Chain A
Amino acid sequence: MASSIMKQGRLTPWLYLLPALVIMFIFIVYPTFNTIYLSFLDKTSTQPASVNCVEGQPCWGIFENYHYALTNPEMVTALRNNARWLLLMVPGTVLCGLFFAVLADRVRYESLAKSIIFMPMAISFIGAGIIWRFVYYIETGSGEQIGLLNAILVALGRQPVAFLSNPAINNYALMLVGVWLWAGFCMTILSAAIKGLPSEVLEAARVDGASEWQLFFQIMLPMIMPTIAVVTTTMVINVLKIFDIVFVMTGGNFGTEVIANRMFTLIVTDTGRSMAIAVVLILLTVPIMIFNVYRFRKQEEMA
Chain B
Amino acid sequence: MASVTYEHVTKEFGNVIAVNDLNLHIEDKEFLVFVGPSGCGKTTALRLLAGLEEVTKGIIKIGDRIVNDVPPKDRDIAMVFQSYALYPHMTVYDNLAFGLKLRKTPKEEIKRRVQEAAEILGIQDLLGRKPRQLSGGQRQRVAVGRAIVREPKVFLFDEPLSNLDAKLRIAMRAEISKLHHRLQTTFIYVTHDQMEAMTMATRIAVINKGMLQQLDTPQVLYDTPINMFVAGFIGAPAMNFFKGHVRKDGGKLFVDCGAFSVPLPAERVRAAQPYVDRPIILGIRPEDIFNPAFVPPGINAAKVACKVDVTELMGNEIFLYLVAGDNTIVARVDPRTDFRIGDQVQVSFNIDKMHLFDPDSELAVR
Contact = CB atoms under 8 A, between A and B. Distances in A.
B85 A201 contact: yes
B166 to A, nearest CB: 23
A166 interface: no
Nearest to B79: A207
A204 B85 contact: yes
Interface string B45-81: 0000011100000000000000000011100011101
Interface stretch (A109-117, A185-193, A208-216, A247-255): A208-216
Contact of B102 (A200, A201, A208, A302): A208
B99 interface: yes
A-B residue pairs, 3 tightest by C-beta = A208-B99, A200-B85, A204-B85
Interface in B218-242: none
Given A201-B85, A204-B86, A209-B99, 17 more contacts: A198-B83, A198-B85, A201-B86, A203-B81, A204-B81, A206-B52, A206-B72, A206-B73, A207-B73, A207-B78, A209-B73, A209-B103, A210-B73, A219-B87, A222-B89, A223-B87, A302-B132
A218 B82 CA distance: 22
A222 B90 CA distance: 9
A47 to B, nearest CB: 58
Nearest to A222: B89
Interface residues of B, number: 24
A209 B104 CA distance: 11
A214 B87 CA distance: 13
A293 to B, nearest CB: 22
Nearest to A202: B85
Contacts of A161: none
A218 B101 CA distance: 11
- The interface residues of chain B, by DSSP majority, are classed as loop
B146 interface: yes
B275 interface: no
A225 to B, nearest CB: 8
A208 B73 contact: yes
Contact of B79 (A204, A214, A218): A204
B150 interface: yes
A13 to B, nearest CB: 32
Contacts of A214: 102
Contacts, number: 61
A205 interface: yes
Contacts of B50: 203, 207
Contacts of A210: 73, 98, 102
Contacts of A200: 81-83, 85
Interface string B258-273: 0000000000000000
B77 A209 contact: no
A153 to B, nearest CB: 46
Interface in A151-205: 198, 200-201, 203-205
B88 interface: yes
B73 A211 contact: yes
Given A209-B102, A302-B132, A201 B87 contact: yes
Contacts of B82: 200
A181 B103 CA distance: 42
A298 B150 CA distance: 34
A208 B71 CA distance: 11
Nearest to B98: A208
Contacts of A203: 50, 52, 72, 79, 81, 85
Contacts of B73: 206-211
A162 B235 CA distance: 83
A27 B174 CA distance: 66
Contacts of A208: 73, 78, 98-99, 102, 146, 150
A204 B72 CA distance: 10
B102 A223 contact: no
Given A207-B73, A208-B73, A208-B99, A223 B88 contact: yes
A166 B83 CA distance: 58
Given A198-B83, A198-B85, A201-B86, A207 B52 contact: yes
B52, B85, B88, B99 — which one has the most chain A CB atoms within 10 A of its CB? B85
Nearest to A208: B99
Contacts of B83: 198, 200
A4 B77 CA distance: 68
Nearest to B152: A207
Interface in B322-337: none
B89 A205 contact: no
Nearest to A210: B102
A200, A205, A207 — which one has the most chain B CB atoms within 10 A of its CB? A207
Given A198-B83, A208-B99, A223 B89 contact: yes
Nearest to B158: A200
A209 B98 CA distance: 9
21 contacts: A198-B85, A200-B85, A201-B85, A201-B86, A203-B52, A203-B81, A204-B79, A204-B85, A206-B51, A206-B71, A207-B51, A207-B72, A208-B73, A208-B102, A208-B146, A209-B102, A209-B103, A214-B102, A219-B87, A222-B89, A223-B87
